[in-house]
Structure 1
Amino acid sequence: MATIEVTESNFNEIADDGIVLLDFWAEWCGPCKSFGPIFEKASAKHEDIKFGKIDTEAQPALAQGFDITAIPTIMAIRDGIVVFAQPGALPAPALDDLITQVRALDMDAIRAEISAEINKN
């Protein structure tokens, strides 16, 4: 699947279900440019996952909403829940490992954990 340009207007439809990997980046960012081809290659390899790129300069509200303070930042969302977020470019093997880990998550356990945390407060 091709990488999708994520904006405020299409974010909710992209991130609502399944696995979504997001790359927060900017044109002026050297590490972002070096990570771009790695992200694109993973997108072609894992067609069941949505891969989105968020230009932090063009979409400041999304960057601010997710508290992005450094780029590139890689974020994984599964079934509408952020399950991973980390600044820094990843080498291809680390990105593949992240994908494997996100696929293996027990989302029922994660939802139960979130519910318990909410009910505790």
Structure 2
Amino acid sequence: MATTDLTAQTFEKTVLDNDIVLVDFWAAWCGPCRQFAPVYEAASKEADNEGIVFAKVDTEAEQSLAGAANITSIPTLMAFKEGVLVFSQPGALPQSALQNLIEQVKALDMAPIKEQIAQEAASAGGEA
């Protein structure tokens, strides 16, 4: 599966409507971004990664989205599972590290994470 370009209009829907979404924040002028692009593209085409959305955000074209995501360094890779941000790190990953990250995200049990989010939301609601 090829990578998908995300915009401010498509970002939230893509993250919420898919089980696992990886997002590469990049820019054309960024050397490390250009080095990471073929690694990311290759991972998107691997059969083991079927069902995972590999998305890209051009930080030059989507400055408001990059700002909302607190992107301060590129490339930055984010991983979402079941609509929850589970990984965010700047820097170009080598192929082995990217594949390791993908396996960890696939194996992640979201039940305790969602329970913690619910507990934090409930306690924040009580602190008015």
TM range (shorter): over 0.9
In structure 1, C-alpha distance between the alignment counterparts of 2:38 and 2:9, rounded to whole Å = 25
**62, 75, 81: which one aligns with 2:65:** 62
1:81 equivalent in structure 2: 84
In structure 2, C-alpha distance between the alignment counterparts of 1:12 and 1:74, rounded to whole Å = 16
**Secondary structure at 1:15 match in 2:** helix
State the identity %: 50
In structure 1, C-alpha distance between the alignment counterparts of 2:90 and 2:63, rounded to whole Å = 16
2:7 equivalent in structure 1: 7
Alignment of 1:19-98 (within 5 A): 19-45=20-46, 46-98=49-101
Q: Quick one: which amino acid aligns to residue 43 of structure 2?
A: A
- Give the TM-score taking structure 1 as reference length: 0.96
Q: Which moved more, 1:23-32 or 1:108-117?
A: 108-117
> Which aligned runs of 4 or more in structure 1 are off by greater than 6 angstroms?
none
Aligned residue-pair number = 121
Does 2:127 align with 1:110? no
| RMSD of aligned Cα (Å) | 0.8
2:104 equivalent in structure 1: 101
Q: Which has the larger radius of gyration?
A: 2
In structure 2, C-alpha distance between the alignment counterparts of 1:13 and 1:118, rounded to whole Å = 22
Q: Which runs of 5+ in 1 are unaligned?
A: none
Q: Which runs of 5+ in 2 are unaligned?
A: none
